[in-house]
Amino acid sequence: MSLVAHSRVQDLFGIGDEADSVVWDEATLRARECLPPAARPRAQVDAALQVAELVLLEGQYGPQHYRLSRAKRLYYRVRPLMTPAARRVLRRAVVRRGAANGGANWPVDDRYVRHAEDALQAACLLQPPLRDEVRPFWPQGKRFALVLTHDVESAEGLARIWDLVEVEERVGVRSSFNLVAGEYPVDMALVRELHARGFEVGVHGWRHDGRMFESLSRFDGDCVHINQTLREWGAVGFRSPMTHRHPVPMQELAVEYDSSFFDTDPFEPISGGVMTIWPFFMGRFVELPYTLPQDHTLIETMGETTPRLWIEKSRFIGEHGGMALLNSHPEYLCLAGNLHMYEGFLDAVCCESDPWRALPKDVAAWWRQRATAGRIAGQ
């Protein structure tokens, strides 16, 4: 079975009735022009599933998409020998080239969003009773979800997380801190305190070295450590270092959700993107793609000094009922002059829009509950 069998367009809207598959395939075909040519279904049968695989599994980028180039594999082998300054210089050169080659649909890529919405309209024209089956995206009548996550890449970043805790508690939000289990010492007292204060702790890989997917044996070894750490920390979420990813081996992770994918980001080592601003099922876990630009991209690459792009993207997401998920880092946010960007973003989004402020684990649990209710209703 496909890893995204329950993440077709009809499932997105909470309509999982297999009896309507012909209607949804026709609706998918009618809305295919919204998608890039490589993501359009090739046949009418299972058209909705084809789109899910081409878009949500990034199949449109080809079978070698998740494999790093030889040059990048070499870089991660010699990276420990490089100074932080040399890494920054090299990263700036790489990401700027990535932006030039594939940044046309960044920071907003609305193609799959338009496709999903057009397919829903087409399906409702073909079968009007479907309008009554559409389920709300979010609880409490909220228009969109706000999810805050922080990847803590180093001991330096770990020492700065309390600055972010203070800011978020003042605004009335909570976030998830993704810690690297084997990179620096993590005191269980810290994990317990974060939990007690309403925050979440996730796992950000075993080592932050970019080599987790270098080979199957390397992944299997890291996976054992990661799953053990998940149990020790009481964690249910994961994000891969450097967003290196592969949906098939990742099924071995003992998680409720993953957040290693993104809607659009030409600046990452494996660029591309799943083009969606909503959660979806990727095999056994819920995928929560990050949908807002990363902080180091805005600060280091784009030279931004205000939260303008975060706010503009959040407005787009709010207009379409999506999930504004931010992936940021205390190593960048807590530097002099940067924390005000984060504070300004939180003030603007929370005060202006009143989103559902949720931890990633709560979003994953809600998405499962919503999907189960939709399938029961369709029986």
Domain ranges of the chain: 140-377
What pLDDT, on the 0 to 100 scale, is given for residue 379? Answer: 47
Beta-bridge partners for 356: 145
What pLDDT, on the 0 to 100 scale, is given for residue 171? Answer: 94
Residues of the chain predicted below pLDDT 50: 102, 379
Class of the 140-377 domain? alpha beta
Axis crossing angle, helix 216-233 with helix 188-196, rounded to the nearest 10:
60
DSSP state of 300: I
- In angstroms, the CA 211 to CA 222 distance is 10
Peptide bond into 107 cis (omega under 30): yes
What pLDDT, on the 0 to 100 scale, is given for residue 375? Answer: 61
Inter-residue contact 292 to 313 (CB < 8 Å):
yes
Inter-residue contact 99 to 266 (CB < 8 Å):
yes
- In angstroms, the CA 224 to CA 202 distance is 16
What pLDDT, on the 0 to 100 scale, is given for residue 19? Answer: 56
- In angstroms, the CA 247 to CA 250 distance is 5
Burial of 369 (0-12, 13-18, 19+ CB in 10 A): exposed
Task: List the Cα angle 358/363/365 in 5-degree steps.
Answer: 130
As given in the structure block, the two tokens for residue 214 are 């270098």
Q: Using alpha carbons, select from 155, 136, 133, 132 the residue that is nearest to residue 144.
A: 136
How many CA atoms lie less than 13 Å away from 211 in the CB half-sphere?
Answer: 13
- In angstroms, the CA 200 to CA 20 distance is 39
Inter-residue contact 306 to 339 (CB < 8 Å):
no
Burial of 325 (0-12, 13-18, 19+ CB in 10 A): buried
